[in-house]
Amino acid sequence: METVVSGIRPTGNLHLGNYFGAVRNFIKMQETYNCYFFIADWHSLTTHPKPGSIHQNVRTVLAEYLACGIDPEKATIFVQSDVKEISELYLLLAMNAYLGELERTTSFKDKARQQPNNVNAGLLTYPVLMAADIIIHKANKVPVGKDQEQNLEMARKFAKRFNNMYGEEFFPIPEPFTFDQSGLVKVPGLDGSGKMGKSEGNGIFLCDEDKVIRKKVMKAVSDSGPTVPNQEKPEAIQNLFTLMNIVSTPDTVEHFNGLYNTCEIRYGDMKKQLAEDIIGFIAPIREKINDIYNDTDYLARVAKAGADKARESAAKTLEDVRKLIGFKSFY
Ligand code: ADP
Ligand code: TRP
């Protein structure tokens, strides 16, 4: 069975974009692949180093993953920092990672620009740690969004380099499993253009209360309405329809599309319907998030079982890696 690895940095709550762009795919993949889904808390220190918030952020993302339907019986779900073997592989891979190639990575250059006062070595070696995350389980496939393609390319490079240096086809070369090609949507924001994102500040979160959702949707950017029948939709309006396509029934979408095409649409009505349909989707997940978040025993059991499974797989790989490099214990 092919192995899938993917991580998410615990830097905030999951929003509809994360759900339809990533988590929904994880839920499908856990049925057919040997999946490792983890919370990349070490990675989050490169940008979010505050000690007070890290545990709470990890707990939130773990509860949200589980509430969405990632099933610890089917997938191995764990916290990166529970698996110390990853840090050893990271160290070993770092010995064959070169300053020039790390400095050229787009995500490094972006982050260095965004936080000029904190261009830490962890940012520079981010792709090395990510490679360790992936190849420690000998992953074949890595589901990532477009923004992670280059980091994954680096992971492929480090895996090939290791294989070349130590004379074996030891690590499988991980393939990107791109969401876009698998027909998943890019979820737009409600601010007229672009995608929904945490840093964009336009997210509808899986933990949002009904009234918060209503408020956000009613404030969505629209315009004064079409004036010509069957007119092409401007981006902000298309975004409302895209969201509706995701959460509403086809009949509902068809209804408002018809009204748009005959220039009879009232965006207030459309937004009201959209808000209710988003609430219909989110409310049950939000309740589960709250239950799971407060069930510390359950979270502990899941995290422990996931860590045990991930450690077992990681330790096996590392034992072979040490041998291949030439380490030998005296005792
Ligand atoms: P954010 O934009 O909230 O910071 P991340 O960059 O942490 O999200 O992405 C986590 C996962 O969610 C990635 O796989 C990414 O491709 C996916 N994702 C994020 N926003 C969207 C969106 N608007 N539409 C589709 N997928 C998204
Ligand atoms: N870099 C990824 C992101 O920001 C998170 C991540 C860390 C990851 N390690 C990984 C994703 C390994 C896939 C595989 O979204």
Q: What range defines the domain where residue 229 resides?
A: 210-290
Output the six-digit token pair for 279.
């609430």
Q: What is the spatial order of strands in the sheet that 3-8 belongs to?
A: 76-79, 34-39, 3-8, 141-144, 175-178
Q: Is residue 19 part of a domain?
A: yes
Residue 221: pLDDT above 70? yes
Q: Are residues 121 and 255 in the same domain?
A: no
Residues 252 and 305 in one domain: no
Read off the pLDDT band of 323 (50, 70, 90): very high
Span 95-118, pLDDT tens digits: 999 999 999 999 999 999 999 999
User: Which residue owns the Cα nearest ligand 2 atom 6?
Assistant: 7
pLDDT at residue 180 in the model: 67
Residue 184's pLDDT is 67
Quick one: 282 and 299 in the same domain?
Answer: no
CA distance 253 to 237: 13
User: How far is ligand 1, taken at its centre, from the CA of residue 142, in Å?
Assistant: 15
Domain-located, residue 186: no
Identify whether residues 145 and 64 lie together within a single domain: yes
Structural domain includes residue 94: yes
- With cut-offs at 50, 70 and 90, classify the pLDDT of residue 326: very high
If you measure from the C-alpha of residue 88 to the centroid of ligand 1, how many angstroms do you get, rounded to a whole number? Answer: 29
239 and 224 housed in the same domain: yes
Inside any domain, residue 198? no
Q: Which atom of ligand 1 is nearest to the CA of 21?
A: 26
Active site residues: 111, 195, 198
Q: What DSSP string describes 126-189?
A: HHHHHHHHHHTTT-SEEEE-GGGHHHHHHHHHHHHHHHHHTTS--S--PEEEETGGGTPPPPB-
User: Do both 21 and 134 map to the same domain?
Assistant: yes
- Asked if residue 193 is part of any domain, the answer here is no
Is residue 168, in this structure, part of any structural domain at all? Answer: yes
Residue 183 belongs to some domain of the structure: no
Q: What is the pLDDT of residue 62?
A: 97
pTM: 0.91
- Which ligand neighbours the alpha carbon of 10 most closely? 1
Residues 258 and 157 in one domain: no
Residue 39's nearest CA partner among 316, 306, 312 is 306
**What is the per-residue pLDDT across 148-197, written as a single tens digit (0 to 9) for each?**
999 999 999 999 999 999 978 999 999 998 776 656 678 999 998 788 98
Is residue 197 one of the residues assigned to a domain?
no
Give the distance (Å) from ligand 2 centre to CA of residue 272.
Answer: 36
If one residue of 9, 14, 142 were mutated to test the ligand 2 pocket, choosing by the most ligand atoms within 8 A of its CB, it would be 9
279-298 tens-digit pLDDT? 999 999 999 999 999 999 99
Query: What pLDDT, on a 0 to 100 scale, did the predictor assign at position 201?
Result: 84
Q: Can you give the CATH number for the domain in which 262 is found?
A: 1.10.240.10
Whether 277 and 292 have beta carbons less than 8 Å apart is answered as no
- Asked whether residue 142 falls in the same domain as residue 259, the answer is no
Domain count, the chain: 2
